[in-house]
Structure 1
Amino acid sequence: MDVSTEIVLSDDHLMRHGQGWPGVPMILVDGLLAMEQSAWLLDLRIRGCSPHTLTSYAKTLALWLKALAANDLHWRNIGSGAAERFSAMLTREGCANGTVRLRMIHIQEYYRWAQVKGHIKTLPFHLQRNDGVQSKKAEGSPPVKLANKTRRSVKPQTRADFDKVLAATPRKTTSLLLRDELIAEAARYMGLRRSEVAALRVDQFEPLNPSNKTQSIEIFSAKSGRLDSVLVPAPFIKKVQDFISIHRVAMVEGFQTRDADYEPPPNIFLNERGKRRGQAVSPDYIGESWRRSSVAAGLDTRFHDHRSSFGTNAAKAARLANANTRAIVKELLRHKHEHTSEIYVKFDELQSDRLIRARIVNDGCFDAPTQEHPE
């Protein structure tokens, strides 16, 4: 049975403990609220989960419910086979091992919550640890084995590859070409995640002065949900302001010509075509669009590589300035812990060591020409 799933955000009417909880992802199945799954998401929000984490959980559950319905299964009455088939489906659809593991962990956590709440008596499965050891919590439930997570190394992107991917983007209008370039540059030169880029607003950039090199904007972090201050490069300010005043204005006027009741969202980057025409571009669209253009350009890059480029460039600049590299990278990337920034620092140190070794080999292994032995 084929069903449609949708994720919507709650408003102030969602109450718990006498308090309203707006902005919590709620799952609809064929237009009806998935009660237990949405209740779990609310519990996670109350426990302090960030919006980014909640959205990830909600997407997993929506996929899970849709996959179960396609096999005429109810979420309460499944076995390990359903979990294995779901894992295999994700792999067939091109999900990386790490993504598959993450989604399966989400589902396992949901079923543990459902057992505690009394919605089910026993766990239908447990994820097999790499060493094959079964946890006490999972006793009696069949195991589901997963592939090891593939660790992706830091992969900064050169400006040449950046331009090559942009050139492969199938856009026909100047507005869309510039929009996609600015979306990518916001990640490359500000260290933003794709959801943070999608959330950039007009009112954040309009008051900025392009001649001031120490300006910043405040954004909500996609990871923690806290309000962070992010520095904005002066040249980027000018490009964004020009885009807003010329191209975005023209796009909005075009939408209003077709629909007199159209009200533009506050976001800078809008969809010009398709079902979401006039709405803000989504984080998923940003990631998928860059990936498609990357493949068309014959490269293997993802949108998050822009943030890697920002991190490694920051580490290099801090090292050359004899500054506290780890602290600066942590602050610029808005990491919670300094050790999270370590991968960018170590990558820069490794690249620096390679250059030093190459210089030693080239300068030291061949004697300079002398009068006795001219070249």
Structure 2
Amino acid sequence: MNRFLPVWIGVAMVAGLLLGRLIPELGDTLSAVEIDGISLPIAIGLLSMMYPVPAKVRYDRLDSVTGDRELLGRSLVLNWVLGPALMFAPAWIFLPDLPEYRTGLIIVGLARCIAMVIIWNDLACGDREAAAVLVALDSRRSDRHLRRNLGPGARRRRRSADRGPCPGRVRVRVPGAAQTVRARFRCVHRRTGDAAMTTPSVLFVCVKNGGKSQMAAGLMHAVAGDRVHVHSAGTTPGTSVNALSAQSLLEVGVDIRGEVPKPIDPSLLRRVDVVVTLGREAHVEPLDGVRIINWDTDEPSERGIDGIERMRLVRDDIETRVETCAPNSTSRIPRPPRR
């Protein structure tokens, strides 16, 4: 379903247009079913779509977000300053003689659709706890602004759509799955308690645990050291580490020749903070409370590149992702001389 979401959205739009044309009275019928100015069918649809995602939020971890001043400050600037300013300027430039349209455009900048924020954040494997806090924060700001400037009547007419804008933190921290892993690590670091419990952990998974997952684990060890507990496993583990994978890492000073492919340990799977599957063939069954993220790594063989050259490209792709998500990392893997 998630993979073809744009297709389903397009199908739903076409179906809506066809229903409106084939059954002209359908729109009036649905509009008649309202409670306090809110369309009941739309409200039911939004609640059905949104409820499962907030139900997955770990509310006991919200303090890791509320204590992050950098996160909250960035959200305030993006959503309280830049967002309204970006909509205010075109509103006055292009709609100087249409005050109603101008006001509507400014409102769009102030209060964006919370449903899309929550759903797209979850599809992008964003941090659910951060999204929950930022949505609540910005929805409060939007609510106050609308009441102050547009009056209670306007707020009542737009209540279903004006419950909160897209949280700026999600835009900044979810350009890719590697950023999501880093975000997860940051939340773990901010917990209180024993140091062993505050060190984040990651499990890298591929099919045989002889290539990509071993490379990712070795590179994470090299970059993050003891700041991350690193594990690797395979869905169908082989018998040995891929020789070309080991050779490509040796070129950058990382030695995985002593590693042995391992199956996934169910107890470890439930303990780690994040599970990263590499490539398109490894699949881990979803578990409650376990964050699973996929790195769709480069596959040079699709472009006719094989052997050690292929493995170097795979290594470089994984290295970039690891360096992006490693917590508090200033080290970088040394680059081998170009051939």
TM range (shorter): under 0.3
TM-score by length of 2: 0.26
TM, length-normalised to structure 1: 0.24
When you count helix as a share of all residues, which structure comes out higher? 2
